[in-house]
Structure 1
Amino acid sequence: MITPHAHHFIEDRIGSGFTIHKISGDASFRTYYRVVLPDNATLVFMDAPPDKEDSRPFVDIATFLVRHAVSVPKIFHADVDRGFLLLEDFGDVTFLEALRQGENAKMLYTRAVADLLKLQKTPRDGRCIAHGRPYDRALLNREFALLTDWYIPGILKQTISDADQKTFQVVFDLIIDQVLQQPVVLVHRDFHSRNLMWSKDRVGIIDFQDAVTGPVTYDLASLLRDCYVAWDRPFRDELSQIWLQGAKESLGYRPDPETFARDFDFMAVQRNLKAVGIFGRLSLRDGKHGYLQDVPRTMGYVRETLPRYPELAPLADMLVNYRVMEP
């Protein structure tokens, strides 16, 4: 249960008579609790230990997004020094759970695309921490390195030769060159079925504290090549076209079909390989082994995409040789 300090924080702000129970943690060190008030209204209490999690970016970005009518939780009370926050409650139903309960996928994802576009067209604001964090070459390289530093040596027990490391880097650089040519927007970084809530006919966006500015197709790739749920290509293509029409109108992104396909595919490969690296790190460093079950689905997207681009053939060969991907 919560600590006495956390209990006092809640009581000081909303009074006594509430009940509280743990909801869940996530891939971070944050823990979430539901606070039930005497009138049965609910809030969420987030406990982010300050020695493990800096809650200031969450507060800063949430404040910015709420100001621009993006559907993220309102913050009612915060003590960032202790990592205590009382938030609007979006309920328990993620998109992943809503799909399991039989909600219409086309309806859910059309709504998600609309909310994504609203996030992407927020204005640049130097006061928001996300706008000072570019998705630049250095960050993209650090993300690629998660695969070669954690997953291949740690999970697969494979030692990458110097020559092969150089080959990996050549292809990584090629992908980075492509994605950095895209228009820049606000990027959530984890816009997928576990971070989208379905609450009272409304999409709720959570886990946005790592937002940066970066390639326009990044969050769409997160949504449609989701590590946690697989969609067939016709469904993905249909949603891509819905997003693309909105992006033309609200973001001024008007690529020809070939350019869009290349932008999206290269971005998705980067995103999926990063995710596999993160799953390896979560297992090895944090003891969170369950994410490894999502690797085959994630790599399935990569395996589907690479044959369409001859220049990525060396990457396909390396992933097969090091047993990251099936032939």
Structure 2
Amino acid sequence: MTGTLSLSLASDADTAKLGEDLALAVRRGDCLALSGDLGAGKSTLARALLRAMADDDDLEVPSPTFTLVQTYDLRLPVAHFDLYRLGDPSELDELGFEEALEAGVCLVEWPDKAADLLPADLITLTFDFDPGGGRRVTIGGSEQRLARVRRVLAIRQFLDNQGLGDAQRRHLTGDASTRAYEYIRAAGHDRMVLMDAPRQPNGPPIRDGKPYSQIAHLAEDVYPFVALAKSLRAKGFAAPEVLGGDYEQGILLIEDLGTGMVIDDAGRPIPERYRASVACLAHLHQMPFERDIPVTDHHVHRIPDYDRTAMKMEVELLLDWHLPWKRNAPATTDERQQYLAIWDGLIDQLSTVEKTLVLRDFHSPNIIWRAAEEGMERIGLIDFQDAMIGPSAYDLVSIVQDARVTVERPLVDQLMQDYLDARRMGGGFDEASFLKSWAIMSAQRACKLNGLWVRLMQRDKKPAYMKHMPRTLWHLSVAFEHEALAPLREWCARVGIGHTESTLQER
């Protein structure tokens, strides 16, 4: 199904702003066909899009009128075609069009010269002069592609409503979820971050009439983020201030905590920064948190429990994705029953362990190092919208067994000792119970991740995460060192899941 939308562009600045917005909407494989008379705005939009993709206002963007194509190695590769002088549509192949489209994004001016050789699923932009002054552009395409265009335009309208209509927008990052982030730069303001987190439709019910996201207590809108940011800031932690938002649309304008990382340029942990992060975590685990947090006059966020159903749903990723990938055969009925029974027993042992606020992903990508600050303020916290009340050991597992960074065993031991020393000073700390819960949650997280990597590769077409599997298999072997994990260790040995010496070398 296709559709169109029409926009009025009063000036070249408005045309350039649209190009900047479209730079945030395009994806690999998109072809933008730009039509219109000379001077209608095609080149202005293309130039703005390319400069936004490069985050370089001075990027030289020559017209490809004579060369027919100019290529740019940017966040996504972009090929800018001008087909005005194309002799025959068949020459498009000689220009490398198909290869450019497969690798990234194609901008095509004078697309009619290509006859019917452009892909059917285009994003078309047709420029016309408006009799009342300025220009009008009609954007057409499939509903899937137009949805992305409408989204970036909705965000621009949000910024306008915030008095930031002329703000510069730049891609920051996306993550394994559907959220995306932008930098917002506006005169008279410090740089800000915009979170683009539209409410997602529920997936199919998979258990008790509920989709996966509800069973695993994943945030389905931005209210949990706003609530947790408010609560963490009230306790003295460096969570970003929410500067504005459209909660129903899933758009938040938040404080930029900076770009400092706890890893070095080679991707290795910086020990003093990891140790400071663990000190922050130990402090957090001694803090009481209210379960019910008001967000608006009409909405209260209740922090969910990290309950048995959620834990088991996550560990089933190992059964459903990792094991079939590992041996090209699904788990047998007996293997599944044995595995789930083992996890029921392990979860039973968690009933008496310490429970606190669990941020859920307390690891290197979500920790901002703020060198100019002191104490807890040095540790910037982000990506905590899925927080729950659960075993405090889970977050220590998250950083000590960082899924994306190899933390060598000597530093692991140092971080564990730092945490235990800090907790002993607080009094009332049951170390033996905590260490058992740490081993159980280590195994739980490793089982989840070793299944998740395969799911991201096979279902979501994101194979890059598979590089982390040797590391997370090693993490599982470390969890197996605790006697409480003997049943799971034996089950994994029977079905052929585990690490090898080569796996350890690859990590």
TM-score by length of 2: 0.59
Counterpart contact for 1:171–1:312, Cα < 8 Å: no
| Residues 20-43 of structure 1 deviation map (CA, whole Å, 9 limit, x = unaligned) | 110110011011000112247200
Partner in structure 2 of residue 262 of structure 1: 436
Of 73-82 and 58-67, the range deviating more from structure 2: 58-67
Structure-2 separation of matches of 1:208 and 1:68 = 15
Partner in structure 1 of residue 353 of structure 2: 182
Shift of 1:103: 8.7
Point out the structure with the larger helix share. Answer: 1
Partner in structure 2 of residue 203 of structure 1: 379
Partner in structure 1 of residue 238 of structure 2: 71
Partner in structure 2 of residue 218 of structure 1: 394
Question: Which 5+ residue runs of structure 2 have no aligned equivalent?
Answer: 1-23, 26-151, 202-219, 294-299, 373-377, 501-507
Distance 1:223 1:104, change over 3 A: closer
Identity of aligned residues (%): 30
Pairing of 1:1-327 with structure 2 (within 5 A): 1=24, 3-39=152-188, 41-51=190-200, 53-95=220-262, 98-100=263-265, 105-128=270-293, 132-153=303-324, 157-201=328-372, 202-250=378-426, 252-256=428-432, 259-309=433-483, 312-326=485-499
SS in 1 for 2:423: helix
| Residues 154-173 of structure 1 deviation map (CA, whole Å, 9 limit, x = unaligned) | 56532111111122123212
Structure-1 separation of matches of 2:173 and 2:291 = 33
Point out the structure with the larger strand share. Answer: 2
Structure-1 separation of matches of 2:353 and 2:177 = 30
Distance 1:103 1:39, change over 3 A: farther
Specify which structure has the bigger relative contact order, considering alpha-carbon pairs within 8 angstroms and separated by 6 or more residues.
1
SS in 2 for 1:179: coil
Structure-2 separation of matches of 1:102 and 1:284 = 26
Q: In structure 1, give the amino acid aligned to 2:261.
A: T
Shift of 1:248: 2.8
Distance 1:136 1:75, change over 3 A: same
Distance 1:164 1:81, change over 3 A: same
Shift of 1:130: 7.1
Structure-1 separation of matches of 2:409 and 2:322 = 27
Q: In structure 2, give the amino acid aligned to 1:231.
A: V
Which protein is bigger by CA-based radius of gyration?
Answer: 2
Shift of 1:285: 2.9
Structure-2 separation of matches of 1:229 and 1:204 = 18
Structure-2 separation of matches of 1:237 and 1:228 = 18
| Residues 229-252 of structure 1 deviation map (CA, whole Å, 9 limit, x = unaligned) | 122222212211211122233473
SS in 1 for 2:368: strand
Shift of 1:59: 1.2
Question: Which 5+ residue runs of structure 1 have no aligned equivalent?
Answer: none
Structure-1 separation of matches of 2:495 and 2:301 = 36
Counterpart contact for 2:439–2:482, Cα < 8 Å: no
Of 18-27 and 162-171, the range deviating more from structure 2: 162-171
Shift of 1:313: 4.1
Counterpart contact for 2:477–2:498, Cα < 8 Å: yes
Structure-2 separation of matches of 1:227 and 1:71 = 23
Shift of 1:77: 0.3
Distance 1:144 1:74, change over 3 A: same
Aligned-residue CA RMSD (Å): 2.4
Counterpart contact for 2:269–2:406, Cα < 8 Å: no
Structure-2 separation of matches of 1:9 and 1:155 = 47
Shift of 1:204: 1.0
Shift of 1:147: 1.3
Q: In structure 2, give the amino acid aligned to 1:136.
A: D
| Residues 107-147 of structure 1 deviation map (CA, whole Å, 9 limit, x = unaligned) | 10121012213332332313237754111222211111121
Counterpart contact for 1:71–1:115, Cα < 8 Å: no
Structure-1 separation of matches of 2:159 and 2:362 = 30
Of 21-30 and 39-48, the range deviating more from structure 2: 39-48
Structure-2 separation of matches of 1:81 and 1:251 = 43
TM-score by length of 1: 0.89
Distance 1:122 1:313, change over 3 A: closer
SS in 2 for 1:286: coil
Counterpart contact for 2:182–2:194, Cα < 8 Å: yes
Distance 1:86 1:292, change over 3 A: same
Of 85-94 and 314-323, the range deviating more from structure 2: 314-323
SS in 1 for 2:459: helix
Shift of 1:278: 2.2
